[in-house]
Chains A and B, each alone.
Chain A
C-alpha cells in the first residue's frame, strides 16, 4: 500500500468522490500555487468504497470553501497545524457562485458579452439546484 506522509500546516480534503480530485485541484487553483500537493486517487474507503484525497501544504485561508461545497459538500475538510488536525470545516452551499459553472444556454447574454463572469445562484437548496443569474438556465457540470 502506498504511503503519503503527514503535512505540517495546510489542509487535507478527505472523502472526495473517486475521480473528482483533479477537477477540485484545478477549481481551487492549486495548479497556480507554489506549494506541496499530494493527490491520492482511488484510496480504500469504508464509507465510499473508493475515494480521492488531497493534501495541500499552504495557508488554510487560501482555500475557497464555496467552490468546494458546490463540487461536493460531503467532502471532509481537515485543517492541519503542527502536523495535527486542529479543525474540521463544514461545507455550506453558497448562495451565489462565480465562474464555477459555465452557462450552456446559447441564448444567454454570457455567450456573447466579453468579460462577464458566469454567476449562478442557489435556486433550490433541497435539490442543490443552481441557476444562471442572467437567464435562469439550470447549472450542469462545473467547468
Chain B
C-alpha cells in the first residue's frame, strides 16, 4: 500500500504517469465519473482549510465516490485527546482513502504508519504540502508543455513559504531549470536550499527588484506574505505589500510568461492582472482537482 507524504515520494517517471492520467481526466472526464463508485474518501482536517479540502472532496465526488470527515480539530475526537494513531485506525474502518491536514509536522506520516488505507498528506504545518506541488507541476507541464528548460521566478516570502520550498525540491529533478529568487532581505530563501542548488549545480540568482527580472522569466510564482509566520506585527505590515504584481509590471513580461500563485492571494497580485491570459492561478486550482483525482486513482490502484 502506498501513501503520499512528500512530492519526492514519486519518481520523475511516476510523476509523468500521474500527470498523463490527470490530463486524460481533464479531456475525458466522463470516463472517470464512476471510477470510485462505492468508495469513500475521509478528509481529516485538524485545522481549517478551504481550497485543499474542497479540492479533495470535489476530486472524489467527480470520481463517483463519496466523502466523510471533519474540518477542524474541535469537531473531531482530537479535542477529547485521541491520538493520530488511534484516529486513523478508526477512520480506516470507515473509508477507503484518507486525506489528512494537521498543524503538527509529520502527523500524516504517523497516520500512514498505523493506517490500513492510503494516506495523503494534505499539509502538515510548515513542513510539506505535496498535493500543492503536484498541482504546480501539472499546471506548468500542461500549459508550458514541458517540465524543464525554463527560467522560473519565485517571488515574495521565500523564507517561510513551504510551497516554494517543495516546488524547488521537485523542480531540481528536471533539466535546464534556472531559478530567480525575488524577495526582500528578511524573507530570503533558506541557506540549506541554496546549498542544495550549489551542490547540484543548478543556476540561481537572488534579487530584490521584481521589475528588473520580469523580461527574462518564463514563469513567475507569486506567494503571499503569511501573517501567521511573523512574531512581530510591525515586520509583517512593512513586508506584506513589498511586491505587487500589476499591469505595468506585466507589460515588461514575455508574451508567453505564466503567473502562478498557490492562493489565497491578498495584495501581491492586483486584480487588474486577473484578466491577463498569462495569469493562470485560477486554472491552477482546476488542475489541483485533476491531479488529486489522478492521485486518488493511483493510490487506490484503480485503472479506467
Contact = CB atoms under 8 A, between A and B. Distances in A.
Interface of A: 105, 107-116, 132-136
Contact of B127 (A112, A114, A116, A136): A136
Interface of B: 83-85, 102-107, 109-110, 124-127
Contact of A111 (B83, B85, B104): B104
Please list the 3 inter-chain residue pairs (A to B) with the smallest Cβ-Cβ separation, ordered nearest first. Answer: A134-B106, A135-B105, A109-B104
A109 B83 CA distance: 10
Nearest to A136: B127
A142 to B, nearest CB: 20
28 contacts: A107-B103, A107-B104, A107-B125, A107-B127, A109-B84, A109-B104, A109-B105, A109-B106, A109-B107, A109-B110, A111-B104, A113-B83, A113-B84, A113-B85, A113-B110, A115-B83, A115-B85, A116-B110, A133-B109, A134-B106, A134-B107, A134-B110, A135-B105, A135-B106, A135-B125, A135-B127, A136-B105, A136-B127
B126 A107 contact: yes
Given A107-B127, A109-B102, A109-B104, 14 more contacts: A109-B110, A110-B106, A113-B83, A113-B85, A113-B107, A113-B110, A115-B85, A116-B110, A132-B106, A134-B106, A134-B109, A135-B105, A136-B105, A136-B127
Contacts of A115: 83, 85
B106 A133 contact: yes
A132 B104 CA distance: 13
Interface centre among B105, B106, B125 (most CB of A within 10 A): B106
B105 A134 contact: yes
B11 to A, nearest CB: 19
Contacts of B127: 107, 135-136
A111 B125 CA distance: 13
Which has the most chain B C-beta neighbours within 10 Å: A111, A132, A134, A136?
A: A134
Given A109-B110, A133-B109, A114 B83 contact: yes
